[in-house]
Amino acid sequence: MMSTRLIIILQLIVSSLLAQSNDEGMIRKIYDEALARGQSYEMLEHLCTKIGARLSGSPGAAAAVEWSRQVMQAYGFDSVWLQPVMVPHWVRGNKEIGRVVNSKKAGSMEMSVAALGGSVGTGPGGVLANLVEVKSWDELKTLGEKGVKGKIVFFNRPMDPKLLQMFASYGGAVDQRANGASEAAKYGAVGVIVRSMSANLEDYPHTGSLRYAPNIPKIPALAISTRHAELLSGLLSDDKDLRFYMEMNCQTLPDAPSFNVIGELRGTKYPKEIIVVGGHLDSWDLGQGAHDDGAGCVQSIEVLRIFKAMGYKPQRTIRAVMFMNEENGLRGGIEYANQAKLKNELHIAAMESDRGGFTPRGYTLPADARAKEKIRSWKPLLEPYGLHDFSQEGGGADISPLAPQGVPLMGYLPDSQRYFSFHHTPADNFDTVDKRELELGAASMAALIYLIDQYGLK
């Protein structure tokens, strides 16, 4: 006769095996729903081609807010609401000019440029000045006021193509875009040109935010396409007296009203425990914001839609959040965290998708060791879907303000190779998104959210 202890052990083993096989089945159903009847691609097509660019404060952003509210309402989520937030309102104005004026070899030549987000304009008279090229902060410092004053500084350090993870490569170059204007202005520069953030040679510029340091004159800043950065560098090395003309019509208007858009499935067992899945609804103004971050938004809505379509009733409350203003202020993310704190909400996990609609690689994991360990224990369930990378930490910009509340933050991690071909450019359009890749991303997010809903992260 079996001992009671043995029976209990066997029961535990059997129930654990059953749970695992049930989880396998549920995850398979999630992917089936996403791949055979998925709606993320159709949603993204609408957002990109009917609404398009949606920089914070723009009519496009307002349209995107109302559209995503209606979409989630139509899917019948338990609650859908708008969370008000005031956002910065920067406008590009008429297309900027970047022109080589007197090159021996190229004569006068228009360059492919775009104002960096948040830049001041030049005024109608523009800025005409000599150029000086630098690839490092040390070079800038060495040049000093003597070498920089009255000139335009051309920051031309490329992204390192040898790095495997393109976000690491981006991280090694984006300081030029973020800080170049103020660093150059310290030495009396009158403007800056920044090589676009891409490892490839392209014909279009990449915009993106700059940060003006306090108490330093604000000077205008242009991004230049990588191909023209190479060209300009060559012309300049032939001809030190090269002069460059910048004309930019951008300006910062008063803050504008906007919203985070939130949809929710209420938990059946632990309704007060909230799991957030989100992306950011705003985009830069040059393209349609397809990968950055229309993809993350429609994938987040799709997670909830998949659960509803499967008839899955989550134990915890699951929220899809379309954050506003990630690109130039993070006001939406900050306000979401503020409100969560004010209302004493308990967030047990937050996941962001803001790395494009590409084929799955894995997830970025919470810093908390226990949560990390728990997610890694689910790897056997997720690896069959191409999710093998559980090595990196991190969440995403929009959910980062939840960190002080102790919320475990994580991210969906797609393949990074193509992201910086589109990021912040006129090419970030719907036609660069593959349907299956987008759907696999939504399913991969839903699969991990499902496991967190079932087992928590404690």
Three-state DSSP class for 151? coil
Closer Cβ to its own copies, 137 or 385, answer by number: 385
Q: Which residue is catalytic, options 45, 302, 326, 345?
A: 326
Three-state DSSP class for 365? strand
Q: Is residue 440 a contact point for its own copies (CB under 8 A)?
A: yes
One residue of 161, 217, 234, 406 binding its own copies per CB under 8 A:
161
DSSP 311: T
Letters for 184-203 (x = contact with its own copies by CB under 8 A, - = none) are ---------------xx---
CA 142 to chain centre: 35
Q: Is residue 413 a contact point for its own copies (CB under 8 A)?
A: no
Tokens at 321, concatenated: 């959040």
Say if residues 114 and 262 touch (Cβ distance below 8 Å).
no
Q: Is residue 361 a contact point for its own copies (CB under 8 A)?
A: yes
- What is the residue whose two structure tokens read 């950011």? 280
Amino acid letter, 244 = F
Closer Cβ to its own copies, 262 or 438, answer by number: 438
DSSP 47: I
Taking each helix axis from N to C end, the angle separating 435-455 and 295-310, rounded to the nearest 10 degrees, works out to: 60
* Residues from 9 through 68 that contact its own copies (CB under 8 A): 31-32, 35-36
Q: Is residue 417 a contact point for its own copies (CB under 8 A)?
A: yes
One residue of 167, 270, 385, 455 binding its own copies per CB under 8 A:
385
Q: How far is the CB of 415 from its own copies (least distance, A)?
A: 5
Say if residues 3 and 404 touch (Cβ distance below 8 Å).
no
Q: Is residue 436 a contact point for its own copies (CB under 8 A)?
A: yes
Q: How far is the CB of 370 from its own copies (least distance, A)?
A: 26
Q: Is residue 384 a contact point for its own copies (CB under 8 A)?
A: yes
Active site residue 326: yes
One residue of 364, 437, 449, 453 binding its own copies per CB under 8 A:
437
Amino acid letter, 322 = M
Among 426, 416, 72, 49, smallest CA distance to 278 is for 72
Gap between the Cα atoms of 117 and 55, Å rounded: 10
Q: How far is the CB of 140 from its own copies (least distance, A)?
A: 25
Q: Is residue 421 a contact point for its own copies (CB under 8 A)?
A: yes
Q: Is residue 171 a contact point for its own copies (CB under 8 A)?
A: no
One residue of 15, 70, 388, 393 binding its own copies per CB under 8 A:
388
- Other Cβ atoms closer than 10 A to 142: 11
Q: Is residue 415 a contact point for its own copies (CB under 8 A)?
A: yes
Region of 86-94, 247-255, 267-275, 384-392 interacting with its own copies (CB under 8 A)? 384-392
Closer Cβ to its own copies, 162 or 343, answer by number: 162
One residue of 1, 2, 164, 369 binding its own copies per CB under 8 A:
164
Closer Cβ to its own copies, 66 or 434, answer by number: 434
- Other Cβ atoms closer than 10 A to 128: 16
Closer Cβ to its own copies, 163 or 256, answer by number: 163
Paired sense of beta strands 270-280 and 316-323, if any: parallel
Paired sense of beta strands 409-414 and 113-115, if any: unpaired
- Sheet of 79-91: strand order equals 79-91, 251-265, 316-323, 270-280, 346-352, 409-414, 360-364
Region of 9-17, 19-27, 67-75, 157-165 interacting with its own copies (CB under 8 A)? 157-165
Q: Is residue 392 a contact point for its own copies (CB under 8 A)?
A: no
Gap between the Cα atoms of 294 and 356, Å rounded: 8
Say if residues 60 and 292 touch (Cβ distance below 8 Å).
no
- Sheet of 127-134: strand order equals 107-110, 97-103, 243-247, 127-134, 152-155, 191-195, 221-224, 113-115
Q: How far is the CB of 206 from its own copies (least distance, A)?
A: 16
The residues that are catalytic are: 326
Kindly list the residues in this chain that would bind its own copies in the complex (CB under 8 A): 31-32, 35-36, 161-162, 164, 166, 199-200, 359, 361, 384-386, 388, 415, 417-418, 421, 434-437, 440
